[in-house]
Amino acid sequence: MFALVAAVGIWTNLAHAQQPPAAPPAAAAQAPAPQNPTPPGEAPGQQKQMPTISVTTGLVHLVATVTDRRHNFITNLEQKEFKITEDGVPQEIKYFGRETDLPLRIGVLLDTSNSIRPRLEFEQDAAIDFLHSVIRRNKDMAFLMTFDNEPEVIQNYTGDIDLLTKAIRKQRAGGGTALHDAIFMAADKLANPPLPVGPAVEVRRVLVVISDGDDNLSDHAKSDAVEAAMRAEACIYAISTNTEWLAVTSGTPRKLHMDPGDKILEEFADQSGGRVFFPYRIDDLAQSFVDIGTELRSQYFIAYAPTNPLSKGEYRRIVVDTERKGLIVRTRKGYYATAAAGATPAK
């Protein structure tokens, strides 16, 4: 009898050990990194393990901002007024929502390299003002990451603004700049954030980068960082600390010439569907954060099932437009079509 009980116990333990782990909740429309993807607009750099999001719905999720030519938000469009193409092929919208009041998961990246030493206090004020403007108590969460010679998580996900503020104020400047590595690492954290309790597990992923855009120490190429942000479905808002070629006209700062760092920040924002800001004074920052907060509450959530069911790791370009003339639509430029293990491809 003792031998029989022992045998049953061993068999049960083996059975449990062979069971696969539970899959994480679905949070996006693409999944593990292809073996050799080619990011848009640039040859790939050294390939590292990409952040992944499990796919069970077979849908591509988009968050779109629509403005007129005067930068006023347009929030009264209907589903039938949107047109989506994937690699030039029209797509059918499966889900549409005018308001995206989803919980926010925000990564704040603070450049603490030696090149921004004179503007460090400006950066700190910028980060703190942003968090106070956007974070909603008991709903949104943020983490703080600094980067100089390498990126470092200073404060993990929390909804406590006081904790984040204290962590920001403690930072000092020095060292080189590993911007690409920081965006890559932050995208990994945003790909697997703490999810809200309850049946609704979707969240919005936002990355706020406060930097001059220079990079001189990263192991990852810029293309790696862009791709990681796309895979995490992270929308990047960049706040430039570079005040060269800035002029204040009619009370508003305007960039007269884009230097290489400015162009890098602009590319990160453009590829992910975000924006780049060039504030000159703290007062200009306040308006920038009002704009970001308004934008996050004035967007459209759109999902479609790709007509091409094949998933071979290729990059697919997305174009979203409206039937109304004179409107500008901002959203991410594309995605990598890879299916998660065990997931059902889009049909």
DSSP letters, 124-171, are: HHHHHHHHHHH--TTT-EEEEEEESSSEEEEEEEES-HHHHHHHHHT-
Q: Check whether 249 has a pLDDT greater than 90.
A: no
Residue 198 confidence class, pLDDT cut points 50, 70, 90: confident
pLDDT tens digits, 36-51: 344 454 444 444 444 4
More confident position, 44 or 4:
44
- Sheet containing strand 93-97, strands side by side: 93-97, 300-304, 60-67, 328-330
State the Cα–Cα distance between residues 320 and 114, nearest whole angstrom.
Answer: 40
Query: What is the average per-residue pLDDT within 339-344?
Result: 39
> Taking the mean position of all CA atoms in its chain, how far away is CA 81?
26
CA 9/CA 144 separation, integer angstroms: 47
Nearest by Cα to 281 from 253, 318, 322: 253
pLDDT at 343 over 50: no
Place of tokens 């980060």: 127
Rounded to 5 degrees, φ, ψ at 282 are -60, -35
How many Å from the N-terminal Cα to the C-terminal Cα in the chain? 55
- Those residues whose C-beta lies under 8 Å from the C-beta of residue 286, and which sit 6 or more positions away, are 129
User: Residue 38 has what DSSP assignment?
Assistant: -
Strand-pair partners of 61: 303
pLDDT at 40: 52
> Which tens digit of pLDDT belongs to each residue from 168-196?
999 999 999 999 999 999 999 999 999 99
pLDDT of residue 310 exceeding 60, the answer is yes
For 47-96, the three-class secondary structure string (H helix, E strand, C coil) is CCCCCCCCCCCCCEEEEEEEECCCCCECCCCCHHHEEEEECCEEECEEEE
To the question of pTM greater than 0.85 for the whole model, the response is: no
Distance CA 276, CA 281 (A): 16
Per-residue pLDDT at 195: 93
Residue corresponding to tokens 């855009």: 213
Residue 95, both tokens: 């889900």
Binned at pLDDT 50, 70 and 90, residue 9 comes out as very low
CATH of 104-296, one of 3.40.50.410, 3.40.640.10, 3.30.930.10, 3.50.50.60: 3.40.50.410
User: Given its phi and psi angles, is residue 270 left (phi above 0), alpha (psi -120 to 50 degrees) or beta?
Assistant: alpha
